[in-house]
Structure formats: C-alpha cells, structure tokens
Amino acid sequence: MILVHDGARPGVTSELCAKVLRAAREVGAATACVQVADSTAVLRGSQLEQVLPRADLAAIQTPQAFRLALLLRAHREAQAAGRDADDDAALVLALGEPVAAVQGDPRNLKVTRTEDILALRSWLGSGAWARQ
C-alpha cells in the first residue's frame, strides 16, 4: 500500500491518513473528499454551460492511498495514452477500478493562493486547528 499526499496540504492529520489507508486496503484505492458547499458549473469560455447537482459533488483531497501495482499500472496506461496525471485517483478511475471516498477534513486546505495562506494563519492563530 502506498500513501500519496501533496505538500500543499499542511493540515493533514494522522487520523485522516489512517482512514484513507483502511479504505484502500478494502477496495484497492481511496481518497479523502469533502462535500462541495458552493454551486459548481461547467464553463465554456466565459459562459455557464451546465450547473452540476451539488449533492453529487465532492472536492478531492490528499491523502490518497493505493495498492502499489494498481497505481503503477494507472500511471503507465495514462502515459501510454498521453493522458495528464494531475490526480492519481482519476487515473485509477480511468482504468475502471473503484476508488473509495472517505470523509476528508476542511482543515486539510490546499494552499495555492494568498487567501489560503491567510486562512491557514487565522486557523493556527485562533487555536481552532487544535480544537477540531
């Protein structure tokens, strides 16, 4: 079993890693997810093409866990097909293999913008991080 996590998510906890690993041991692959709070749409240029049903959507986080052979096969097949590998769980799904979803953690914020850093600092400074 291999656990994949990106360094842009400094809020990962050992508990979340353990939940993802447990689910992956049962299914072969698993990822942390949180329900989407905002309405989400498919865009075509600057126009809304379709608004997606929020109840069916989740934001994928890391960690993700996989049986090593499955993850290697997913990357090999994606490379051979010329597909981008921006999410390991998506590559495994493209094989037709199941990926279990476990409840993620909103504190497992992906720090990619200045606003994310400010939110992280606010959580850390308030002590809310430790209380959740």
**Over its length of 132 residues, how does the chain's per-residue pLDDT go in tens digits?**
999 999 899 889 999 999 999 999 999 999 999 999 999 999 999 999 999 999 989 999 999 999 999 999 999 999 999 988 789 999 999 999 999 999 999 889 899 898 888 888 887 776 655 555
Which pLDDT value is given to residue 64?
A: 98
Hey, what are 38's tokens? 């905002």
Which pLDDT value is given to residue 103?
A: 97
Which pLDDT value is given to residue 129?
A: 54
Question: Which CATH class, in words, describes the domain spanning 2-131?
Answer: alpha beta
Which pLDDT value is given to residue 115?
A: 87
**Residue 37 burial by Cβ neighbours in a 10 Å radius (0-12, 13-18, 19+):** exposed
Which pLDDT value is given to residue 127?
A: 61
- In DSSP terms, 60 is beta-bridged to 33
d(CA 23, CA 38): 27
**What residue segments make up the domains of the chain, in order of their start?**
2-131
The model's pTM is: 0.85
Which pLDDT value is given to residue 61?
A: 96
CB neighbours of 1 closer than 8 A, spacing ≥ 6? Answer: 21, 24, 25, 65, 66, 67, 68
